[in-house]
Structure 1
Amino acid sequence: MEILIILKNIILPIFVIMGIGFVLEKKFALNVQTLAKMNIYFFVPGFIFVKLYSTQISMQLFGSIFLFFILLVVLLYVLSIPVARYQHLDKKEKITFSNSVMFFNSGNYGVPVNDLVFKSDPVAMSVQVIMLTLQNIFLFSYGIFSLQSAEIGKLKALLGYFRMPVLYALLAGILCNVLDVPLPEFIWVPANYIAEGMISVALLTLGAQVANLRLTAGLSKVTYSLLLRLMGGPIIAFVIIKLFGMEGVIAQALLIASAMPTSVNSSVIAQEYDNHPALAAQIVLFSTLISSITVTLTIYFARLFL
């Protein structure tokens, strides 16, 4: 059965490396903060630069993905508001709840899934890299604004994002690609080494992060978040894809990208700014576990209908 093949060949390998990270964290108490910083400041920027530099991406494709992303997160946010009100969440809980729905794990979960599904297809990976970059920009701008701006102000929160290397890796990759800038071997070779290490280190980090999550929040709030993130996300994405007339690899990659579980970083920023961190952590944990089923079904659905 194809669903079982997808589960075995695509989802299981991801959870194997995550499991290793989980065990290593429990046994050796890894410095997860250092691992996370290595991803954010070293592996992810290198990966983004290499993929955007080495793949031909038209501005039309970039524009389409950008518009798709904006529509997706806006609609998810709009849906999350009445659901949060229905649960009678307080103001701070509403922020954590909405963030858990809008921010999905495009990096250390989405990239490996894309790589396994599309066999390292450059077009599919370019779609995922753009989604990853947009998610990072969105998370470290609006995501932090929603939690931090009341304390330090929006301008200071915005300036803090410009210290993140992801934005500059994106710009450098696109500019060098468009301008056809030749890179010397002493730059290109180490850049590729960095990019190749991103997936394994990202999954290892994700496993270690999950090992540190603590469960104390109510399950009803978690359930609604999972329904919107793991089911609502792909459904909305499918409608947008059809409205845009997208098809083939690009359509499949976008649909699968929209099905990723809640971003671990949504829990990280909730913890850092003390905004119901227990709720955020529980959502991330259950979202990651249940995604093994929902992402498998989304991959099957994408292959069948797109």
Structure 2
Amino acid sequence: MNILLHILMNNVLPLTVMIAVGMAMEKAFKMDIKTLSKLNFYVFSPAIMFNLLYRTDIPLKLFGQVMLFVLCFLAAQYAVLEAVVRIRQYDGGMRSAMRNSVLFYNSANYGIPLNQLAFAGNPYTLSVQILVMMTQSLIPNTYGVYNVNAHKAKWKDIRKVILSMPVIYVIPVALALRYFEVSVPGPIETPIGYLADAFIGTALLTLGVQLGGMKWRVSRSMAADVGISVFLRLVIGPALAALVVWALGIHGMMAAALIVSSAVPTSLSSVLLAVEFDNESEFASQTVFVSTVVSIVSVTTVIYLLHL
């Protein structure tokens, strides 16, 4: 009960309050969601990624193990997703939206606080979570962009969009500066810190604005699709993660941290991609919202099972 209450009060409730503020702003002022989306993609998201990677000491062995897990885990998730996509016979836009809703999960503003809670602020497990967050920032800005555009645009045009995403350059620069112990000048480091601090609030407000602009008339077919997405993300996700860590022979704190990292709800990135590229934004918003609410129970269950 203590874990459930803690997750509710310190993770889910604050997120819900911020989303509610965004919904209220949309109802009152009819916000420009495209501008909010661009701020997230091109300013705040790269800033928080640079800040975390530059400030965190990550051993090379840990880096390799986490990257191997991520590759295997994503491959397993993708295999399950493809089976579902084929059975449900989704069209191009819905197919990409379903993939994004399951493959991209909230490893930053939900995953990091959850990691700190579940492992009592352990710096080792925090490093694991930051690496997972790095991949969950890079993949939506590369594969995610391709995925939502592949059915309606040429590869040449998609490639230009991907190459315009700052995150794909920020990650190697931050890692290189950290590895070679290069100091970032104060006049640059301070603004990066300000922008990084703005990421979570702006992303949640963007989700709220999107939800506030929806009519909320969910057809039976969409309700079923949202349910499938949430089940794949919150139940099948950690189950596959447990299978992967067992297959790779990963044990102890790293195994637990990787399983917990996989149990979080759908990422805000799926909404930002859907809004930015006009691809099933209503479905994307609902999967984020519903998975976040349902995660109160599912995440608590995962942590409880790990404690056993």
Deviation at 1:214, TM superposition (A): 4.5
Distance in 2 of aligned mates of 1:237 and 1:278: 28
Q: CA separation of 1:273/1:170 partners in 2, compared to 1, >3 Å: closer, same or farther?
A: closer
Distance in 1 of aligned mates of 2:251 and 2:170: 28
Of the candidates 231, 234, 255, which is equivalent to residue 235 of structure 2? 231
Partner of 1:210: 211
SS of residue matched to 2:238: helix
Deviation at 1:280, TM superposition (A): 3.6
Deviation at 1:15, TM superposition (A): 2.5
Cα deviations by residue, 1:98-156 (Å, 9 ceiling, x for unpaired) = 33222223344434544555566554443333323322332232233233234432243
Deviates more, 1:192-201 or 1:54-63: 192-201
Cα deviations by residue, 1:143-195 (Å, 9 ceiling, x for unpaired) = 33233234432243123212111122211110011101122322333333333
Partner of 1:62: 63
Of the candidates 245, 259, 264, which is equivalent to residue 255 of structure 1? 259
Alignment of 1:156-305 (within 5 A): 156-215=157-216, 216-217=218-219, 218=221, 219-270=223-274, 273=277, 275-302=279-306, 304-305=307-308
Distance in 2 of aligned mates of 1:2 and 1:70: 34
Letter of the aligned partner of 2:34 in structure 1?
Q
Distance in 1 of aligned mates of 2:121 and 2:35: 28
Cα deviations by residue, 1:46-85 (Å, 9 ceiling, x for unpaired) = 2211211121112222222222122222211211222233
Distance in 2 of aligned mates of 1:196 and 1:95: 30
Tell me if 1:73 matches 2:77.
no
Partner of 2:107: 106
Contact 2:12 2:293 in 1 (8 A): no
SS of residue matched to 1:152: coil
Contact 2:146 2:162 in 1 (8 A): no
Give the gaps of 5 or more residues in structure 1: none
Deviation at 1:233, TM superposition (A): 0.5
Distance in 1 of aligned mates of 2:47 and 2:265: 23
Contact 2:54 2:178 in 1 (8 A): yes
Contact 2:34 2:276 in 1 (8 A): no
Distance in 1 of aligned mates of 2:87 and 2:141: 28
TM-score scaled by structure 1? 0.84
Give the gaps of 5 or more residues in structure 2: none
Deviates more, 1:114-123 or 1:54-63: 114-123
Contact 1:39 1:201 in 2 (8 A): yes
Partner of 2:4: 4
Contact 1:95 1:146 in 2 (8 A): yes
Identity across matched positions, percent: 34
Contact 1:87 1:221 in 2 (8 A): no
Partner of 1:154: 155
Q: CA separation of 1:220/1:203 partners in 2, compared to 1, >3 Å: closer, same or farther?
A: closer
Cα deviations by residue, 1:234-279 (Å, 9 ceiling, x for unpaired) = 1111222233343455434322221222234334444555554444
**Count of equivalent residues:** 304
CA RMSD of aligned residues (A): 2.9
Deviates more, 1:223-232 or 1:135-144: 135-144
Distance in 2 of aligned mates of 1:253 and 1:110: 10
Distance in 2 of aligned mates of 1:213 and 1:108: 24
